[in-house]
């Protein structure tokens, strides 16, 4: 093949790939002046949020009790600005095709939502402090709160979830899901931002954990790696497509422990103080205080 042929192959591929038929449903048209949701900026947003919530552990800044006010101040302001822009991007993305452009009213709404989120940061820190304590108390290998905050993937995944959950409750589209998927990629823990999770929540090791969108988890719950809180099956509409928005994931009451690789499916309830053993498949309610395990293996 001569260089000319290469050029021909390239330009032909470009032409095919630029035909509108070929990208139906796979193409996001950008409207002039609209910000774009950006994975890189959302990364910065999470880094800032972690630096604000756990000062000195994240953000790598040379911070002490005399200067913390300056650092928190700059980080909060920067977080507000970046979030403002990304929330606006999310609003525009969600209304794709419905309206003509990114209006002034959307800009205002984005600012309001960003400010509301900022005002929730002290609450978020209070709840996350309970998660850190739970992780420390639950793991004999943990040597300090500092080690837990710096190293434990559960803290990263739960922080992202709690941030995303706040944003979702404020009505921000798309962004919450991207934020939990970032933690999913980093930790292997997949928590849907719509799940409801109480205080003192901890996940040990965590790789492979899945917590579905309509799950409800009480206080003081502990989950091990590979645990799935999933949907058993879902009703279809007339067109054979799944009906969206139905409660289809489990409820875990206070103090429940679920061991590694257990799979709990459907809108069932695992009662208070119950323990679910590893590697089992649970599709029916588990009574309060019960302990279920796998049948013996054959030798």
CA-to-CA separations, 79 to 6, 84, 128, in angstroms, rounded:
47, 8, 18
Least separation in angstroms between residue 108's CB and its own copies is 8
Least separation in angstroms between residue 31's CB and its own copies is 7
Q: Are 288 and 271 in contact (CB under 8 A)?
A: yes
127 versus 198: smaller Cβ distance to its own copies: 127
Least separation in angstroms between residue 221's CB and its own copies is 17
Least separation in angstroms between residue 218's CB and its own copies is 19
55 versus 250: smaller Cβ distance to its own copies: 55
- The residue among 179, 173, 240, 142 whose CA lies nearest residue 50 is 179
57 versus 216: smaller Cβ distance to its own copies: 57
Task: Classify 44 as helix, strand or coil.
Answer: helix
Q: Using the structure block, give the residue that is written with the tokens 């899945």.
A: 210
Give the chain's radius of gyration (CA, Å): 23
Alpha helices (H) in 95-208, listed in sequence order: 104-119, 121-138, 145-151, 153-169, 175-187
Least separation in angstroms between residue 114's CB and its own copies is 8
User: From CA 297, how far away is CA 228, in angstroms rounded?
Assistant: 22
User: From CA 79, how far away is CA 58, in angstroms rounded?
Assistant: 14
189 versus 251: smaller Cβ distance to its own copies: 189
181 versus 254: smaller Cβ distance to its own copies: 181
Least separation in angstroms between residue 273's CB and its own copies is 14
User: From CA 46, how far away is CA 4, in angstroms rounded?
Assistant: 48
163 versus 178: smaller Cβ distance to its own copies: 178
């Amino acid at each position: 093949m001569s260089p000319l042929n290469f050029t021909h192959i390239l330009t032909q591929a470009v032409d095919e790939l630029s035909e509108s038929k070929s990208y139906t449903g796979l193409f996001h048209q950008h409207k002039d002046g609209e910000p774009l949701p950006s994975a890189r900026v959302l990364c910065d947003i999470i880094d800032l949020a972690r630096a604000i919530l756990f000062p000195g552990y994240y953000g790598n800044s040379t911070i002490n009790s005399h200067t913390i006010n300056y650092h928190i101040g700059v980080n909060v302001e920067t977080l507000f600005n970046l979030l403002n822009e990304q929330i606006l991007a999310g609003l525009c993305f969600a209304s794709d095709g419905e309206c003509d452009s990114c209006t002034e009213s959307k800009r205002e709404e984005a600012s309001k939502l960003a400010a509301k989120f900022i005002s929730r940061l002290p609450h978020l820190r209070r709840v996350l402090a309970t998660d850190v304590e739970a992780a420390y108390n639950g793991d004999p290998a943990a040597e300090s709160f500092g080690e837990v905050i710096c190293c434990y993937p559960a803290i990263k995944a739960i922080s992202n979830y709690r941030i995303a959950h706040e944003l979702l409750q404020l009505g921000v589209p798309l962004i919450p899901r991207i934020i939990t998927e970032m933690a999913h990629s980093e930790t292997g823990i997949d928590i849907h931002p719509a799940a409801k999770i109480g205080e003192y929540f901890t996940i040990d090791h965590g790789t492979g954990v899945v917590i579905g969108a309509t799950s409800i988890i009480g206080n003081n719950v502990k989950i091990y790696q590979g645990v799935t809180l999933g949907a058993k099956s879902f009703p279809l509409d007339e067109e054979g497509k799944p009906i969206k928005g139905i409660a289809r994931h489990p409820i875990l009451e206070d103090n429940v422990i679920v061991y590694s690789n257990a799979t709990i499916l459907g809108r069932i309830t695992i009662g208070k103080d119950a323990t679910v053993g590893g590697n089992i498949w649970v599709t029916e309610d588990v009574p309060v205080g019960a302990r279920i395990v796998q049948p013996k293996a054959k030798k």
